[in-house]
Structure 1
């Protein structure tokens, strides 16, 4: 299993690094022309094509993306990875953090692995053990907004992946 995870890890890290560097040429070389991102959030399901995703990601100010490969299946022409990811973006002088569980499908295309599908679902965070003045858990799984400290997936006004924080549009589509 370690070898399979290493193979997926290398591709996922290359994708993350290109994403954080806003290296569109590298992103396009890793993402299949038929790529589709399918996700679910508090606002409901969504679908983004490759061009829509690349356009939207260029409008974000990413701080970091942490990856943890949870499972991998490697076949001759297809690989499927299950990845827990925590990403952080800058917004209004602060950081917004969100965690997702990803299923990425990679295919061999002209001798190169390219991601053709990604499914993204909200994922739980590990508690930091810290509490705010009201006794609410705060830290990695919580953020502050006009509604006070809250977990984005428990708060219907937040959908950071789609660009909504506490009911307000973030500076990307």
Structure 2
């Protein structure tokens, strides 16, 4: 391995550590000013540098194992191809599985910066089908899939700006949360209360003329024991947006 390849390999490890430690400052030093995360599966999405850095605190990595890695350098461009086994959640959504990542690095002012990451899951769960012809279920699928691929901009567009999330249970989170910022505030409180290993899984989607519902399984690890409990989420939908939400869930434990 030549000097440039070693430098890129070391920076790649530094970036991995920044992600695992959710170190925004260290990640900023590695990312090119025009960095973007690009996905084509389960759907095309592009996340800018600013969006990715904003999401990093919610990227909880429990395991990150590089199974294969190939590094090629040609002049001022380098490519790092990896197959990674990851156990992680992103904004509460389980993103565990095997991924192939392709990182493109560019030499900038004598140093290397990662310019693009293309990430493709080789194994990942799919949302339940429900009635695929119902437009309200299409809205819900797009809502959950946006979080699955960490596409907060799409999620923000799906939720009406004045939408209210009404939470009745659990009691310590009871209240109304307004707009997308309010929804994220609820999620942060929910995750903090459950602990760092909080996850959710969509079990079933249902739809009616004016509303839709999702049955979810929530989980966390407590003293090396998996705890699971249910949440029912009701959504009032108009056009292609969620207008209001009601969450009710069991008490864990």
Change (3 A) 1:118 1:96: closer
Greater RCO, 1 or 2 (C-alpha within 8 Å, sep 6+)? 1
For normalisation by structure 2, the TM-score amounts to 0.47
Change (3 A) 1:62 1:73: same
- Describe the SS at the equivalent of 1:120: strand
Q: Is the 8 A contact 1:5 1:69 kept in 2?
A: no
Q: Is the 8 A contact 1:61 1:89 kept in 2?
A: yes
State which of 158, 162, 166 in structure 1 corresponds to 2:150.
162
Residue in 2 that maps onto 1:140 = none
Q: Number of aligned pairs?
A: 137
Structure showing greater Rg? 2
For normalisation by structure 1, the TM-score amounts to 0.66
Kindly indicate which of the two structures has a greater share of residues assigned to helix: 2
Contiguous gaps of at least 5 residues in structure 1: 125-151
Structure 1 residues 45-95: Cα deviation after superposition (integer angstroms, max 9, x where no partner) = 11000110111121122213222443222122110111112221259x9x7
RMSD of aligned Cα (Å): 3.0
1:1-173 equivalences in 2 (<5 Å): 2-3=1-2, 6-42=6-42, 44-89=43-88, 97-124=96-123, 152-153=124-125, 155-157=126-128, 160-162=148-150, 165-166=201-202
